[in-house]
Amino acid sequence: MNKEVLLKELGHRDYKVTWDYQEELFQEIVDLKIKNRREGTDFSTPNHFLFVEHPHVFTLGKSGDMSNLLVDEAALQAKGATFYKINRGGDITYHGPGQVVGYPILDLDNFFTDIHKYLRLLEEMVILTLAEYGLKGERSGGETGVWLDVGTPFARKICAMGVRASRWVTMHGFALNVNTDLGYFDMMIPCGIKDKAVTSLNVELGQKTVDMEEVKQKLLRHFSVLFEAEIVKEKTPM
């Protein structure tokens, strides 16, 4: 089993361009697994972890409800935002500047074949990172992602998650609000949940900005421990 994870820092990158790149990496792994099975070979499959920051974009998962987007195309254009229906699970979410977006593209045969465990470990990675900033991140029953003040009238989401998996290969991932303009969340019903707010790390800490590189390093450190993975930084060919 190959537990080496190649880290790719994509910087600021268009959502569709990044989605296509994810699909390319995802398909390479799936094709290798099919070839191994067909030919009786045992070539190790690679694992990737993409960090990226997107321009303003709204995405709707395959089980999502279009009515959870509260504005029309003209309003989106006026705010410099785009919209895509995509092939992950979950409902509608927003990505934009000031948000740490991570896309682990893993062959879970290299780690464990359990999607539920995979999601819980991604949540735990974020919970442990928030704890380093003195915040108590929590899970909310039946709602994927990481929240603050669960079970109170002040419950609010700080990290959204949505993944796709096929042949135990994953794509898509998580979006942690760090220095995010929360006004964009007013244009939708986040994840289709009407009675809970959205927040960001800088708001919770009462700071104008939080060092996003520091946040990413903390996330990676917890990821490597939870998944027993070796992180190797790789220059992206994009």
**Count of other CB atoms within 10 angstroms of residue 130:** 22
How far is Cα 58 from Cα 95, in angstroms, rounded to an integer?
A: 6
> Which structural domains are found in the chain, ordered by start?
4-233 (3.30.930.10)
List, for residues 63-102, the tens digit of each pLDDT value: 666 777 777 777 777 778 888 787 776 678 889 999 999 9
Q: What pTM was computed for the model? A: 0.91
- Residue 194 confidence (pLDDT): 55
List, for residues 207-222, the tens digit of each pLDDT value: 999 999 999 999 999 9
Residues across the chain: 238
List, for residues 151-206, the tens digit of each pLDDT value: 999 999 999 998 999 999 999 999 999 999 998 888 776 555 556 689 999 999 99
Is the distance from CB of 172 to CB of 132 less than 8 angstroms?
A: no
- Residue 171 confidence (pLDDT): 95
Residue 53 clears pLDDT 80, i.e. is over it = yes
**Count of other CB atoms within 10 angstroms of residue 67:** 10
> Percentage of the chain with pLDDT > 90?
71
- Residue 166 confidence (pLDDT): 94
Q: Give the Å distances, CA to CA, from 93 to 32, 161, 184.
A: 32, 9, 10
Rounded to an integer, the average pLDDT of 108-127 is: 97
Q: Can 191 be counted among the known catalytic residues?
A: yes
- Residue 71 confidence (pLDDT): 76
Is the distance from CB of 88 to CB of 164 less than 8 angstroms?
A: yes
Catalytic residue, candidates 100, 146, 158, 191: 191
